[in-house]
């Protein structure tokens, strides 16, 4: 049976690490987004606007003003993010779909939009991602139910701050769209943020601006005025600024009898959540003293608090608050061991490249951006259990129940640091085999260079899907290919993009897997089934190139090793258009490096050279999979780059 399936990719495939420096290189993102060399005469745009309602920022300017200020921004609606990863789940064309939750249900509305300076923009790095809180703004602008909004101009008012780990707008309160004003337009949208002051010591605490700027996990003193609390799960919709203050309502309908946080601000009259600093109140004396439900009279009073500077409710905040000063009284016991010493927290360093890797402080400050990046630090221990509180700092290192190896390590900027740490996942394979501390306790204390995804792990800022580690000059795993200047780049973990699948024989087809990439197997229902299946690239223009290489990671397992190189092949054509590959002429190209064929360990394909005769327009390449009723391997391909 012959089948033709076309999978369209809505996710742009740029590394997110590049999106964190948009202010420096925005001009490079305009004019030639399809890598064809044809910019259609489009002019590069300048950053303009003052952020007022009368003179809103354009998107180019807003990308550079990520300082937490409230401002107006104008642009064109060009898409949305339909999930948790802006790099893999951005959609730029209808139909727009809702995010898929962990339980398999699908959201019935969008919660964000992407805006850009051009109505036809499809480059993530040129977009501002805008949060759409519940209410009229979301109902009017979201794309799942309003696909006709795509390409239309819009003006938005909200907080310029990172969202999805990149330049964005949150707490979007108002919009102007199709001649209508939606939401609540502020009276004074341009109040500038205060200058940062203080050094975080007890004698010279940070002010709100400084504490907001130093969300790096350091312990510090912060001074401000108590202005309210958050009586729920959302700082934008559940903040209360006036008595009577009420407790949070739980899912079963019961109401909390204590507050668990306070909002502090630079002035005693502040009632804008975006200008506040949210402070966690753990159980104990500090909560008892600062709970505004029990003590509404403290609303408006100046307070100094001591705790860990880290995001809370998804915003700049303080957690693990252990001490406070109110009305001349000191509450709690934290922060007094060296009260006059400035904090001077570790500074985030690097840009995530191999040449300038992030340090641990930078990973923490990026707050699970989802970017794939290089990180350099020291191995200081491992977590043995299900909680980050179960860190083992020295040998002997144990093995968790159900495991035969260590599955993670903990890293820090200094070998003796036990406070500012990041847990790192060690997936099965070369990286785990090399760094597992129960097997290799000698790795403890060594400097390591890691490549992985900056996402939450053990409930903290972490690194997952670690694919490469370098210790003492030895490389474990696969070094990622430098995709700068790529003609085509696709991870295959968010779909097959513009690749076409064609099944010559068999019911099984190439599919995308969010972990393993493009995946093909003839094994189904407990048996092998004969198959011939093609995964064919979109047409590429290779004219004028002196050389072109194809590189990817792949794994092959569960098949007959005698058929390893004959059943898993690559081909190139300059006259394929669509349908059956047999209607075109194909030339086989040699895959430089094959996996061992008997494990799930990925290897780099090496640089596969496109023959010189095909350095022309309308060239396609293809993966061809074969198997029989007697045996059927699984072939997995990911992180493909053509350059």
pLDDT of residue 14: 32
Mean of pLDDT values over 521-539: 96
Which range (237-251, 431-445, 565-579) has the least confidence? 237-251
What φ, ψ does residue 240 adopt, rounded to 5°? -120, 130
Least confident of 200-209, 362-371, 503-512: 362-371
Quote the pLDDT of residue 191.
43
Average pLDDT for 599-617: 94
Lowest average pLDDT, out of 123-132, 147-156, 212-221, 317-326, goes to 212-221
| pTM recorded for the entire structure | 0.47
Beta-strand relationship, 90-91 and 219-230: unpaired
pLDDT at 366: 77
Q: How confident is the model at residue 321 (pLDDT cuts 50, 70, 90)?
A: very high
Confidence grade of residue 131 (pLDDT, cut at 50, 70, 90): very high
Is 612 a residue whose pLDDT tops 80?
Answer: yes
Which band of pLDDT confidence, cut at 50, 70 and 90, is reported for residue 510? very high
With cut-offs at 50, 70 and 90, classify the pLDDT of residue 416: confident
The answer to whether 411 and 377 have CB atoms below 8 angstroms apart is yes
Secondary structure of 173-217 as H, E, C letters: EEEEECCEEEECCCCCCCCCCCCCCCCCCCCCCECHHHHHHCCCC
Mean pLDDT for 259-277 is 91
Q: What is the rounded average pLDDT of the residues 522-546?
A: 96
pLDDT tens track for 283-300: 899 999 999 999 999 999
pLDDT category of residue 347 using cuts at 50, 70 and 90 = low
Whether 136 has a pLDDT exceeding 50, the answer reads yes
Residue-wise pLDDT tens digits, 351-396: 899 999 999 988 887 777 778 899 999 999 999 987 787 899 999 9
Whole-number pLDDT of residue 78: 96
Q: Worst-scoring range by mean pLDDT, 193-202, 220-229, 269-278?
A: 193-202
28 — alpha (psi -120 to 50), left (phi > 0) or beta?
Answer: alpha
Instruction: Please provide residue 460's backbone torsions phi and psi, each rounded to the nearest 5 degrees.
Output: -130, 170
Measured CA to CA, the distance from residue 629 to residue 523 in angstroms comes to 9
Average pLDDT taken over every residue of the chain: 85
For CA atoms 549, 491, 461, 85, the dihedral sign is: positive
Structure tokens, 226: 């108590």
d(CA 290, CA 298): 8
Q: Are strands 219-230 and 302-309 parallel, antiparallel or unpaired?
A: antiparallel
Q: List CB contacts of 402: < 8 A, sequence separation 6 or more.
A: none
Please tell me which of 47-51, 327-331, 564-568 the model is most confident about, judged by mean pLDDT.
Answer: 564-568
Residue 270: pLDDT over 70: yes
Q: In the predicted model, is pLDDT for residue 243 greater than 70?
A: yes
Give the Cα separation of 209 and 206 in Å (integer).
8
Q: Is the pLDDT of residue 453 over 80?
A: yes
Helical H segments across 59-121, by residue range: 59-62
Half-sphere exposure (CA, 13 Å, Cβ side) for 547? 4
Go through the domains of the chain in sequence order and give each one's CATH number. 11-183 (2.40.50.200), 208-332 (2.40.50.200), 360-477 (2.40.50.200), 488-642 (2.60.120.200)
The whole-number pLDDT of residue 30 equals: 29
pLDDT computed for residue 10 by the predictor: 32
Residue 25 has pLDDT above 50, yes or no: no
pLDDT computed for residue 37 by the predictor? 32
Residue 302 has pLDDT above 90, yes or no: yes
pLDDT value for 186: 62
Distance CA 165, CA 461 (A): 12
């Amino acid at each position: 049976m012959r089948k033709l399936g076309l999978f369209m990719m809505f996710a742009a495939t740029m590394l997110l690490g590049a999106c964190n420096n948009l202010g420096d290189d925005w001009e490079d993102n305009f004019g030639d987004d399809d890598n064809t060399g044809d910019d259609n005469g489009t002019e590069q745009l300048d950053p303009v606007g003052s952020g007022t309602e009368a003179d809103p920022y354009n998107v180019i300017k807003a990308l550079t003003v990520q300082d937490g200020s409230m401002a107006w921004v104008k642009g064109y609606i060009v898409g949305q993010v339909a999930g948790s990863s802006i790099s893999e789940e951005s959609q730029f064309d209808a139909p727009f779909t809702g995010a898929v939750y962990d339980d398999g249900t699908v959201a019935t509305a969008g919660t964000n939009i992407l805006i850009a300076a051009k109505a036809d923009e499809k480059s993530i790095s040129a977009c501002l991602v805008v949060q759409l809180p519940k209410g009229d703004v979301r109902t009017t602008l979201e794309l799942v139910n309003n696909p006709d909004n795509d390409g239309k101009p819009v003006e938005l008012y909200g907080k310029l701050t990172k969202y999805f780990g990149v330049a964005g707008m949150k707490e979007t309160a108002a919009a102007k769209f199709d001649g209508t004003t939606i939401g609540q337009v502020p009276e004074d949208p341009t109040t500038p943020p205060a200058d940062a002051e203080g050094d975080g010591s007890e004698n010279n605490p940070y002010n709100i601006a400084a504490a907001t700027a130093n969300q790096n996990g350091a312990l510090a003193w912060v001074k401000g005025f108590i202005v309210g609390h958050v009586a729920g799960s959302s700082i934008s919709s559940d903040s209360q600024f006036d008595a009577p203050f009420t407790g949070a309502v739980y899912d079963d309908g019961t109401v909390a009898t204590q507050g668990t946080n306070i909002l502090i601000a630079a002035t005693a009259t502040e009632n804008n959540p975006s200008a506040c600093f949210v402070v966690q109140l753990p159980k104990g004396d500090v909560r008892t003293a600062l709970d505004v439900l029990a003590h509404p009279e403290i609303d408006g009073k100046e307070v100094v608090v001591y705790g860990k500077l880290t995001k809370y409710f998804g915003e700049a905040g303080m957690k693990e608050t252990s001490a406070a000063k109110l009305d001349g009284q000191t509450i709690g016991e934290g922060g007094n061991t060296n009260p006059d010493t400035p904090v001077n927290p570790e500074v985030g360093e690097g840009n995530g490249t191999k040449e300038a890797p992030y340090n641990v402080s930078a990973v923490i400050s990026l707050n699970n951006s989802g970017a794939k990046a290089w990180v350099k630090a020291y191995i200081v221990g491992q977590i043995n259990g299900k909680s980050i509180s179960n860190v083992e700092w020295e040998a002997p290192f144990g093995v968790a129940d159900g495991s035969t190896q260590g599955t993670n390590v903990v890293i820090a900027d200094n070998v003796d640091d036990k406070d500012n740490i990041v847990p790192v996942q060690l997936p099965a394979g070369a990286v785990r085999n090399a760094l597992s501390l129960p097997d290799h306790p000698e790795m403890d204390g060594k400097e390591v260079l890691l490549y992985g995804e900056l996402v939450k792990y053990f409930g903290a800022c972490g690194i997952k899907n670690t694919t490469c580690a370098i210790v003492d000059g030895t490389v474990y795993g696969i070094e990622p290919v430098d995709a700068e200047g790529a003609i085509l780049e696709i991870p295959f973990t968010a779909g097959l993009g513009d690749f076409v699948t064609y099944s010559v024989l068999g019911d099984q087809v190439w599919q995308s897997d969010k972990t393993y990439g493009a995946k093909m197997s003839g094994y189904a229902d407990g048996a092998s089934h004969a198959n011939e299946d093609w995964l064919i690239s979109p047409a590429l223009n290779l004219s004028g190139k002196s050389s072109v290489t194809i590189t990817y990671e792949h794994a092959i397992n569960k098949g007959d090793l005698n058929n390893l190189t004959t059943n898993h092949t690559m081909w190139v054509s300059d006259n394929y258009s669509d349908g059956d590959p047999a209607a075109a002429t194909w030339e086989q190209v040699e895959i430089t490096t094959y996996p061992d064929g008997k494990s799930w360990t990925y290897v780099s394909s090496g640089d596969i050279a496109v023959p010189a005769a095909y350095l022309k327009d309308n060239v396609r390449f293809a993966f061809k999979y074969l198997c029989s009723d007697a045996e059927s391997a699984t072939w997995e391909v990911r992180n493909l780059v053509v350059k």
